[in-house]
């Protein structure tokens, strides 16, 4: 079974994946697989432009966990979406040294449920589990993911609403 852990940058994907790897799960980090599919570096947005269609179609099946903010684009058996309240996400990304523009872009994407919407578009009948990592310890998030993977937690999504964090345009 291939379980994909996805979410906006800063939601805790890598930390949770490392915890699950320490527990014996086989984990692939997307950042280790995208190099052949990079089309360009977008310096203005401080990101890489990736041929996601080509990358996703070439990605080999993996019996384990795939972690990264593009993981939901793969043919996953189950998708875990990590969520974080946008004000806390801003703090996390700031501590990483993200530029203000990038922080705003990611905080808005989180408030607008971008990853959830993309996931539902790609996996309309899929096994999807959404979890708020804002104040939940990594070990507790990892426990919940393991329970979901074992079928001891039902799919659940749509219970996180950050729309109050959207700032109206002047």
In the DSSP assignment, the letter for residue 71 is G
Average of per-residue pLDDT values in the chain: 93
User: Domain tally for the chain?
Assistant: 1
| Encoded tokens for 137 | 């310890």
CATH of the domain at 77: 3.40.50.300
* Enclosing domain of residue 143: 2-159
Does a structural domain hold residue 151?
Answer: yes
Q: Dump pLDDT digits (tens) for 5-64.
A: 999 999 999 999 999 999 999 999 999 999 999 998 877 777 788 899 999 999 999 999
Nearest one of 74, 78, 84, 128 to 109, comparing CA atoms: 84
Q: Dump pLDDT digits (tens) for 143-153.
A: 999 999 999 99
Does a structural domain hold residue 15?
Answer: yes
């Amino acid at each position: 079974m291939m379980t994909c852990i996805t979410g906006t940058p800063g939601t805790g994907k890598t930390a949770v994946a490392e915890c699950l790897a320490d527990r014996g799960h086989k984990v692939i980090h997307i950042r280790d697989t995208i190099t052949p599919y990079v089309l360009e570096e977008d310096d203005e947005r401080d990101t890489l432009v990736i041929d996601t269609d080509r990358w996703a179609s070439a990605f080999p099946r993996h019996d384990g966990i795939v972690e990264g903010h593009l993981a939901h684009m793969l043919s996953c058996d189950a998708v875990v979406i990590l969520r974080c309240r946008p004000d806390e996400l801003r703090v996390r990304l700031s501590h990483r040294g993200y530029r203000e523009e990038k922080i705003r872009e990611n905080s808005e994407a989180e408030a607008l449920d971008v990853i959830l919407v993309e996931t539902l578009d790609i996996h309309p009948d899929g096994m999807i589990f959404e979890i708020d990592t804002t104040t939940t310890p990594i070990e507790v998030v990892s426990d919940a993911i393991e329970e979901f993977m074992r079928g001891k937690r039902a799919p659940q999504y749509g219970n996180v609403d950050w729309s109050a964090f959207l700032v109206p345009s002047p």
